[in-house]
Amino acid sequence: MKRIAIVGGGISGLAAAFALDERRRAGEALQFVVYESGPRFGGVLFTEQVEGCLIEAGPDSFLTEKPWAADLCRRLGIEDQLIGSNDGDRKTYILVKGRLVPMPDGLMFMVPTELAPALLTTLFSAATKLRVAREWWYPARQSNGDESVGALVERHYGAEMVDRLADPLLAGVYGGEASQLSARAVLPRFVEMESKYGSLGRGMLAARKNIRQSQPGPPIFSSLKGGMQQLAEALVGRLSPDVLRANSPVQAVQRQDRGWVVSAGYASDQFDGVIVATPANAAAPLLEIASADLASELRAISYSSSVTVALGFGRDVRATLPAGFGFLVPRREGKRLLAATFVHNKFPHRAPIDRALVRCFLGGSRDDQVLQLSDQDILEIVREELRQILGLKAEPLFARTFRWRSAMAQYAVGHLDRLQRIEGLVKQLPGLALAGNGYRGIGVPDCIRSGEAAVQQLLS
């Protein structure tokens, strides 16, 4: 009988546990335990219902094109609970000099693939529009080393594109900065396109054509009817309660002659293998004794924190808010808000027809201090900035604030080299595998894939 410990009961750890359970049910002689330091499983997947509104405290959806989350839902038998974003209403605004400007049509992530809308928009200055037009003839370029996303985008489109698009988009997704995040780790497709096509615009257009041919446009984002927590609950529901150890913070994961010892509280237990599925910087101290070098590499993966604030309003406000999914705020605008989602438009059934639900994001790598503020102070900042941006003066019917400390991994320039070193060090420790958002993707589907890959690695 092989015994495996999983440390961390977020989506990465739960996906690993379910993959192990599938193997156990298929007849493999396996036992496993999931240690979670907190009182509940799911990590940052956390959903609340307030006055008929479905509030996501952490992730609200996942990218449909990444198959691992939907595949897990199918294996869990909750495929019928999957929903898509309301893409007919998919417009996103950028705050430019205090006004919301819609992102031009044809923009894929931050790359213009249609010239006319990019030239007609008020989002870009004449100089950037000229760069967009010229970019079409950008020559193919092989890059040897890594660079920041900001440097790559600036080379193609100039600094304004970084300020107005790349930086706010990365702040929204990673809580990070274009000048710090690694192009190879965060946007590997851009690096490939640059080496194959030169122009990112032409590369994206080619990719878009391929997608259109193979699929008739599935929604960009998928989620679950009951919110993202429904996925964690389905996983927990399929695992035996005996294997789920909540309120069990692990202090150390140490090697022993024939396996591993996991110490949690006053108890230690022996295992043949361990999957450490915590954030990388939380994995570092656990593995310090097993390998100081590994711990040091893990510690070097930095994390940013974020705050989400959900505000519910009545029918009158709903009628006055812009159409579309929400807006992003470039740093230059001098606000603490990074982005806001109009949830009632993105996932209409998440708010009754007479409610507006606005979800705001603050924090990120530039504003860790916001986490120290009281809920009341954060609410005042959010309300004042929504008043400035949207003219929204109404008193919210309800407000919920959630803090996520060190939750978003920052893949800094050189991240892939660091991963290689980490993987080399892990290989020297048979029976150890790592999973989580610190390594090869921060999104929910990537985390699920990481948990499943960790199981594969241990049992192959």
Ligand X SMILES: Cc1cc2nc3c(=O)[nH]c(=O)nc-3n(C[C@H](O)[C@H](O)[C@H](O)COP(=O)(O)OP(=O)(O)OC[C@H]3O[C@@H](n4cnc5c(N)ncnc54)[C@H](O)[C@@H]3O)c2cc1C
Which residues of this chain interact with ligand X, rule CB under 6 A?
A: 7-13, 35-38, 43-45, 58-62, 249-250, 277-279, 282, 286, 306, 308, 404, 407-408, 436-437, 442-444, 447
CA dist list (Å): 196 to 69, 115, 139, 146: 30, 21, 9, 17
User: Of 6 and 118, which CB lies nearer to ligand X in the complex structure?
Assistant: 6
Q: How far is the CB of 371 from ligand X (least distance, A)?
A: 12
User: Of 200 and 274, which CB lies nearer to ligand X in the complex structure?
Assistant: 274
CA dist list (Å): 302 to 181, 185, 273: 11, 14, 26
Q: How far is the CB of 5 from ligand X (least distance, A)?
A: 10
User: Of 70 and 394, which CB lies nearer to ligand X in the complex structure?
Assistant: 70
Report strand pairing: 326-328 vs 92-96. Answer: parallel
Q: How far is the CB of 286 from ligand X (least distance, A)?
A: 6
User: Of 61 and 410, which CB lies nearer to ligand X in the complex structure?
Assistant: 61
d(CA 138, CA 123): 22
Q: How far is the CB of 118 from ligand X (least distance, A)?
A: 26
What one-letter code names the amino acid at 92? T
Q: How far is the CB of 380 from ligand X (least distance, A)?
A: 21
What one-letter code names the amino acid at 175? G
d(CA 328, CA 333): 10
**Residue closest to 324 by CA, chosen among 160, 126, 93, 161:** 93
d(CA 231, CA 81): 9
d(CA 103, CA 88): 15
User: Of 12 and 128, which CB lies nearer to ligand X in the complex structure?
Assistant: 12
Report strand pairing: 30-35 vs 244-245. Answer: parallel
Tokens of 184: 């190879």
User: Of 171 and 407, which CB lies nearer to ligand X in the complex structure?
Assistant: 407
Q: How far is the CB of 351 from ligand X (least distance, A)?
A: 17
Q: How far is the CB of 240 from ligand X (least distance, A)?
A: 19
Alpha helix ranges (H) inside 38-187: 68-76, 115-120, 126-135, 149-157, 159-161, 167-174, 183-186
Contact 175, 437 (CB under 8 A): no
Q: How far is the CB of 306 from ligand X (least distance, A)?
A: 5
d(CA 339, CA 363): 10
User: Of 59 and 324, which CB lies nearer to ligand X in the complex structure?
Assistant: 59
User: Of 43 and 176, which CB lies nearer to ligand X in the complex structure?
Assistant: 43
Q: How far is the CB of 275 from ligand X (least distance, A)?
A: 11
Q: How far is the CB of 235 from ligand X (least distance, A)?
A: 11
Q: How many other CB atoms are there within 10 angstroms of residue 87's CB atom?
A: 14
User: Of 60 and 154, which CB lies nearer to ligand X in the complex structure?
Assistant: 60
Tokens of 309: 């604030």
Q: How far is the CB of 41 from ligand X (least distance, A)?
A: 7
d(CA 456, CA 278): 18
CA dist list (Å): 284 to 292, 294, 442: 9, 7, 18
d(CA 224, CA 197): 37
User: Of 13 and 102, which CB lies nearer to ligand X in the complex structure?
Assistant: 13
Tokens of 40: 């509940």
User: Of 193 and 282, which CB lies nearer to ligand X in the complex structure?
Assistant: 282
List the strands of the sheet with 99-102, edge to edge.
99-102, 92-96, 326-328, 339-342, 356-363, 303-313, 398-409
